[in-house]
């Protein structure tokens, strides 16, 4: 099998730096998700690994071997493209068979290989069709089958679910982890969908502007985002962000929310007296009775029942809007005056000026490619 | 369904008929002339009814031209063969050189690639007569004057830029990811060129080749200056019908009919590719 190691990769297009001194290691058999907004350099990174474009600086190691100057056809990786990139003049069978043909497999072996992967991906019935006769879902599965068929030790998946409909995306999100785990391959998976990232990744690398901003398990990224930007990208409904100035009293560090003191269990001393932004996940807020300690008075503005949860928009006495999420079937308020309480343990504090999380403990932070 | 009024349809029909008559009339007239003798052709007023004769075609095929002044030997069939040979070979050479070059220009942006591509195109800007004089001198020095090789070489000025620029547009239209996917699958760049790029650009290559063939076939001035009778194509060979005893309109018409038949047949056959190829390639080019 194959691990992947990128050392200080730099890629520039004209004067623009797309990847800036980026280092990354993916362990053998691990699924790493590259997550970030478009233009972050995810796709460029994947293509560098595949060998279809060359880095300006840095080294690419696959399975410990330096592959920086090795042509794409000798790297032995599999790749699925966002736009599928099927060969329009070949049948689905021939499309999937191309990596096996390159290995000069016998016709029998090619047929067996294609049939088994087609069966796995449920496209066995369309093998004789040309790509234009396929639905988007079938195209996507064909592209995936073509990437998988040669059993490459390193699999690169460039947002393969981007162009398929919501239902199929949901199905594939459930199917893919098992599929990838069965193969035992090392996987680099690019996506812009945080749910996909959380569902598929052993680890997630959050990229923006050619730099990895945070690298960690889905749990770490969600619980301990390195900055406001990342906190905002993960989570639906999005995190509530409010301006605060933490202070200290006998019971510890607290922030004032609508004149109510909310104590933060794990806040850092360095936050005291600074202009901060507090991040409150909607599910870290809950409705409470008026007399509970820490109850903040709010007015309910609107309630949106989703399938598994109910999201309520409330307004504080200072006029700030906050989203509260609770599992469906639990009690809450859907109109008028109400009170909410904050789970002080899960509150996140960010520096107002830089957006960095304050007291980011246990977080693997990467800046300019060097692990801190 | 599109709704059009009766009047609109009638007007459209009339307009189309006028256009067709305007463009087809010379061809139809020449076709009719090719079955007449000089006397019936030159009758005033011209008449639509005549007694058809195959004498013109017989004269061309046998190579014996009967005129009032006596029998002349003409090499029309030889000229026709020269046209076929020169055009086919020139286009073949152009495709062999131009298609890989077009691929290189489309896929690899190297230093000066745009300049080289443009220089090749600029060969088409220069008036042929400007190039011909020095070329004739060089060709005589090199021993290329009045050779097929020399002519085919000069014909590259006509065919190569055309093929290069049309086919390049086609290659650029193929998403790079499709080629990447094939290479990542384990195939060399050359296999990718052969199995992916060539088949996908096929219609464009066919259109460019066809167009280049027509341009080469219709060329007159290069062959007039650089070749003598036995190497000349029909375009130049038709001059032989201007004889001392008058212009042989009947034979000229028959010669024209014979010489436009191959290109006309090709164009009709590949009409669809031609229109597609030109519009696609040109927009992107």
| pLDDT single digits (tens) B211-231 | 899 899 988 888 888 887 788
Is residue B91 predicted with pLDDT exceeding 90? yes
Say yes or no: A91 contacts chain B, CB-CB below 8 A. Answer: no
Is residue B1 predicted with pLDDT exceeding 60? no
A142 within a domain of the structure (yes/no) = yes
Three-state secondary-structure class, residue A208: strand
* Neighbour count for residue A133 (Cβ, 10 Å): 12
pLDDT tens digits, B160-169: 999 998 899 8
Q: Which of residues 111-170 of A touch B (CB under 8 A)?
A: 146, 150
Residues A200 and A274 in one domain: no
Question: How large is the angle between the packed helices A136-148 and A166-183, nearest 10 degrees?
Answer: 10
* The domain boundary residue, chosen from A177, A202, A225: A225
Question: Distance (Å, rounded) from C-alpha B35 to C-alpha B27?
Answer: 13
A86 and B196 within 8 Å at the Cβ level: the answer is: no
Please state whether the peptide bond connecting residue B152 to the residue before it is cis, i.e. omega within 30 degrees of 0: no
Residue with tokens 């639906």: A236
A150 and B185 within 8 Å at the Cβ level: the answer is: yes
Residues B49 and B122 in one domain: no
A210 within a domain of the structure (yes/no) = yes
Q: Which domain holds residue A301?
A: 231-356
Residues of B in contact with A98 (CB under 8 A): 182, 185, 187
B96 within a domain of the structure (yes/no) = yes
Residues A120 and A162 in one domain: yes
* The domain boundary residue, chosen from A175, A206, A225: A225
Query: What pLDDT score does B68 carry?
Result: 63
Residues of B in contact with A102 (CB under 8 A): 185-187, 191
Phi, psi of A354 (to 5 degrees): -90, -20
* Neighbour count for residue B191 (Cβ, 10 Å): 17
Name the more confident of B124 and A232.
A232
Residues A196 and A242 in one domain: no
Residues A126 and A256 in one domain: no
Query: What pLDDT score does A1 carry?
Result: 61
CA angle A317, A318, A319 (to 5 degrees): 90
Which tokens in the block code for residue A130? 């040309």
Question: Distance (Å, rounded) from C-alpha A89 to C-alpha A95?
Answer: 9
B85 within a domain of the structure (yes/no) = yes
CA angle A93, A104, A91 (to 5 degrees): 15
B1 within a domain of the structure (yes/no) = no
CA angle A36, A40, A45 (to 5 degrees): 100
Is residue B99 predicted with pLDDT exceeding 90? yes
Residues B23 and B97 in one domain: no
Average pLDDT over residues B199-206: 87
Query: What pLDDT score does A63 carry?
Result: 87
Q: Which helix (H) or strand (E) segment is B202 a member of?
A: helix B198-218
B184 and A72 within 8 Å at the Cβ level: the answer is: yes
Phi, psi of A97 (to 5 degrees): -75, -15
Q: Which domain holds residue B55?
A: 6-73
Q: Tell me which long-range contacts B273-277 makes (C-beta under 8 A, separation of at least 24).
A: B273/B203, B273/B206, B273/B207, B273/B210, B274/B207, B274/B210, B274/B211, B276/B203, B276/B207, B277/B166, B277/B170, B277/B203, B277/B204, B277/B206, B277/B207, B277/B208, B277/B210, B277/B211
Is residue B66 predicted with pLDDT exceeding 80? no
Residues A166 and A281 in one domain: no
Nearest chain B alpha carbon to A96: B185
pLDDT tens digits, A104-118: 888 999 999 999 889
HSE, CB side, 13 Å, CA atoms: give it for residue A22: 33
Question: Distance (Å, rounded) from C-alpha A302 to C-alpha A323?
Answer: 10
B141 near A51, Cβ under 8 Å?
no
* Neighbour count for residue B121 (Cβ, 10 Å): 15
Query: What pLDDT score does A142 carry?
Result: 92
Sheet holding A348-351, edge to edge: A240-244, A276-280, A348-351
Question: Distance (Å, rounded) from C-alpha B82 to C-alpha A271?
Answer: 91
Question: Distance (Å, rounded) from C-alpha B82 to C-alpha B262?
Answer: 13
Residues A247 and A164 in one domain: no
- Closest CA of chain B from A15, distance in Å: 17
Question: How large is the angle between the packed helices B148-173 and B113-122, nearest 10 degrees?
Answer: 130
Q: pTM of the prediction?
A: 0.77
Residues A215 and A288 in one domain: no
pLDDT tens digits, A212-226: 889 999 888 888 888
A50 within a domain of the structure (yes/no) = yes
Residues of chain A with pLDDT under 50: 361-372
Average pLDDT over residues B98-127: 86
Residues B25 and B157 in one domain: no
* The domain boundary residue, chosen from B25, B51, B73: B73
Query: What pLDDT score does A363 carry?
Result: 39
Residues B115 and B147 in one domain: yes
């Amino acid at each position: 099998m194959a691990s992947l190691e990128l050392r200080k990769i730099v890629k520039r297009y004209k004067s623009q730096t797309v990847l800036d001194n980026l280092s990354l290691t993916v362990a053998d058999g691990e699924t790493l998700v590259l997550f970030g907004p478009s233009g972050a350099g995810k796709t460029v990174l994947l293509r560098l690994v595949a060998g279809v474009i060359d880095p300006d600086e840095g080294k690419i190691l696959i399975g410990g071997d330096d592959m920086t100057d090795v042509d794409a056809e000798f790297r032995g990786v599999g790749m699925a493209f966002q736009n599928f990139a099927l060969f329009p003049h070949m049948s689905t069978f021939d499309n999937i068979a191309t990596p096996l043909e390159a290995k000069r497999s016998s016709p029998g072996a090619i047929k067996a290989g294609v049939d088994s992967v087609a069966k796995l991906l449920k496209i066995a019935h369309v093998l004789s069709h040309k790509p234009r006769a396929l639905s988007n879902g079938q195209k996507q599965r064909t592209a995936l089958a073509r990437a998988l068929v040669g059993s490459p030790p390193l699999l690169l998946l460039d947002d393969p679910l981007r162009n398929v409909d919501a239902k199929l995306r949901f199905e594939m999100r459930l199917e893919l982890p098992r599929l990838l785990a069965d193969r035992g391959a090392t996987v680099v998976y690019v996506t812009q969908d945080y749910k996909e990232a959380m569902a598929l990744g052993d680890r997630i690398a959050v990229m923006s502007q050619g730099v990895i901003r945070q690298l960690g398990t889905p749990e770490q990224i969600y619980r301990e985002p390195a900055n406001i930007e990342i906190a905002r990208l993960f989570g639906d409904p999005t995190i509530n962000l409010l301006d605060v100035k933490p202070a200290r009293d006998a019971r510890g560090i607290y922030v004032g929310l609508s004149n109510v003191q909310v104590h933060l269990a794990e806040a850092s001393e360095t936050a005291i007296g600074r202009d901060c932004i507090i991040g409150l996940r909607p599910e870290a807020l809950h409705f409470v009775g008026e007399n509970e300690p820490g109850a903040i008075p709010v007015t309910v503005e609107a309630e949106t029942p989703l399938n598994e949860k109910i999201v309520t928009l409330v307004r504080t006495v200072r006029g700030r809007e906050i989203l509260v999420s609770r599992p469906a079937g639990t009690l809450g308020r859907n109109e008028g005056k109400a009170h909410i309480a904050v789970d002080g343990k899960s509150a996140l504090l960010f520096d107002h000026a830089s957006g960095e999380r304050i007291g980011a403990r246990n977080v693997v932070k990467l800046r300019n490619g060097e692990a801190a | 369904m599109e709704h059009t009024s009766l009047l609109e349809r009638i007007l459209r029909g009339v307009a189309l008929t006028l256009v067709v008559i305007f463009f087809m009339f010379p061809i139809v007239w020449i076709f009719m002339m090719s079955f007449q003798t000089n006397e019936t052709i030159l009758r005033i007023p011209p008449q639509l009814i005549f007694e058809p004769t195959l004498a013109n075609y017989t004269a061309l095929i046998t190579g014996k031209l009967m005129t009032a002044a006596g029998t002349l030997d003409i090499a029309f069939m030889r000229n026709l063969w020269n046209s076929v040979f020169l055009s086919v070979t020139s286009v073949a050479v152009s495709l062999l050189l131009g298609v890989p070059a077009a691929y290189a220009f489309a896929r690899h942006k190297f230093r000066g690639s745009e300049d080289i591509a443009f220089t090749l195109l600029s060969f088409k800007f220069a008036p042929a007569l400007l190039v011909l004089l020095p070329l004739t001198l060089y060709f005589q020095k090199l021993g290329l004057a009045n050779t097929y090789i020399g002519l085919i070489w000069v014909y590259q000025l006509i065919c190569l830029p055309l093929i290069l620029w049309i086919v390049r547009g086609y290659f650029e239209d193929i998403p790079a990811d499709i080629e990447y996917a094939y290479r990542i699958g384990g195939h060399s760049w050359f296999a990718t060129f052969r199995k992916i790029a060539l088949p996908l650009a096929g219609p464009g290559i066919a259109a460019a080749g066809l167009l280049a063939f027509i341009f080469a076939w219709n060329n007159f001035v290069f062959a007039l200056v650089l070749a003598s009778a036995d190497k000349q194509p029909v375009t130049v060979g038709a001059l032989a019908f201007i004889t001392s005893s008058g212009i042989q309109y009947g034979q000229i018409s028959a010669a024209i009919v014979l010489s436009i038949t191959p290109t006309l047949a090709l164009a009709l056959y590949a009409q669809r590719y031609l229109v597609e190829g030109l519009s696609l390639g040109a927009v992107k080019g």
